[in-house]
């Protein structure tokens, strides 16, 4: 009872703070200085149509490197934490047979989902989307495959390989910027190309492709690890 009362008091005080915040909130009516700079100079400087992508990959590219590192850390901690014994790995789980609808649908849908994922991260500098979103779409295709074939396992060595190679290439591409352009993760190593084309914006599409592969394989590894631990309990 006391507990419920304390929770109620906490939430009530939070709502007082929020009501104050809400009453003093004034929507912006123009861009602030930094965003104005990005909006005015980005097309000439970096040549990417999607401003969010240019901020994520180039202007604040170092943040994205840290973000990718955090995702990598989370994936590897889960892999370490959910490691199961060799004897458990051989166990057979008796699962219900997958329904025919799911099996047939997965054969048609999985290649299309992968195609959509590749489209989303290859066009990250032109349309909404990018490496993280495309990687998540590809991982969802892998989840569909796992649901359709529950006795198969994720091949961790393959996905760890893809992940480390693409992460390494991302850093190498960033380092190229120091020698051939104006700084770490600068995209002007390659020519900027014509504004709005798929081969434009220098290194941004390449970097986003590698981020997409890395995120997709990391998420697949996480899902695979979560699935395999269930063998332990039986």
Exactly one of 38, 114, 119, 184 binds another protein (CB under 8 A); which one? 38
Interface with another protein in residues 162-201 (CB under 8 A): 195-196
Q: Taking the C-alpha atoms of 174, 67, 135 and 127 in order, what is their torsion angle to the nearest 10 degrees?
A: -70
CA distance 156 to 90: 16
Question: By CB under 8 A, is residue 132 in contact with another protein?
Answer: yes
| Residues 124-137 as b or e (16 or more Cβ within 10 Å = b) | bbbeebbbbbbbbb
Question: By CB under 8 A, is residue 222 in contact with another protein?
Answer: yes
**CB of residue 15 vs another protein: minimum separation in angstroms?**
6
Exactly one of 9, 175, 178, 226 binds another protein (CB under 8 A); which one? 226
Residue count at the site for another protein (CB under 8 A)?
Answer: 57
**CB of residue 168 vs another protein: minimum separation in angstroms?**
19
The DSSP line for 110-130 is HHHHHHHHHHHHHTTTTSS--
CA distance 120 to 123: 5
Structural contact between residues 52 and 38, judged by C-beta atoms closer than 8 angstroms = no
Question: By CB under 8 A, is residue 23 in contact with another protein?
Answer: no
**CB of residue 199 vs another protein: minimum separation in angstroms?**
17
Q: Of 94-102, 120-128, 146-154, 165-173, which segment contacts another protein by CB under 8 A?
A: 120-128
Q: Is 38 helix (H, G, I), strand (E, B) or coil?
A: helix
Residue 129 vs 174, nearer CB to another protein:
129
Question: By CB under 8 A, is residue 20 in contact with another protein?
Answer: no
> Nearest Cα to 207, choosing from 177, 169, 164?
169
CA distance 150 to 131: 28
Q: Of 74-82, 153-161, 186-194, 197-205, which segment contacts another protein by CB under 8 A?
A: 74-82
CA distance 37 to 46: 13
Q: Which residues in this chain contact another protein in the complex, by CB under 8 A?
A: 4, 7, 10-11, 14-15, 18, 21-22, 25, 27-32, 34-36, 38-40, 43, 49-52, 55-56, 60, 63-64, 67, 70-71, 73-75, 77-78, 81-82, 126-128, 130, 132, 195-196, 215, 219, 222, 225-226, 229, 232-233
């Amino acid at each position: 009872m006391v507990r419920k009362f304390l929770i109620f008091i906490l939430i009530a005080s939070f709502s007082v703070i929020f009501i104050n915040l809400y009453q003093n909130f004034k929507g912006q009516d123009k861009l602030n200085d930094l965003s104005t700079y990005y909006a005015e100079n980005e097309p000439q400087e970096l040549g990417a149509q999607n401003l969010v992508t240019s901020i994520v990959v180039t202007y604040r590219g170092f943040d994205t490197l840290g973000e990718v590192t955090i995702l990598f850390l989370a994936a590897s901690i889960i892999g370490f934490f959910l490691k199961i014994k060799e004897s458990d790995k051989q166990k057979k789980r008796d699962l219900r047979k997958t329904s025919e609808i799911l099996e047939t649908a997965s054969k048609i849908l999985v290649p299309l989902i992968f195609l959509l994922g590749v489209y989303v991260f290859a066009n990250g500098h032109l349309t909404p989307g990018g490496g993280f979103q495309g990687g998540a779409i590809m991982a969802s295709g892998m989840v569909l495959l796992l649901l359709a074939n529950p006795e198969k396992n994720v091949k961790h060595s393959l996905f760890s390989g893809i992940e480390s190679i693409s992460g390494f290439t991302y850093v190498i591409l960033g380092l190229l910027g120091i020698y051939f352009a104006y700084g770490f993760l600068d995209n002007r190593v390659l020519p900027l190309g014509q504004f709005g084309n798929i081969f434009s914006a220098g290194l941004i599409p390449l970097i986003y492709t590698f981020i997409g592969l890395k995120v997709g394989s990391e998420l697949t590894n996480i899902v695979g690890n979560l699935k395999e631990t269930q063998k332990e309990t039986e």
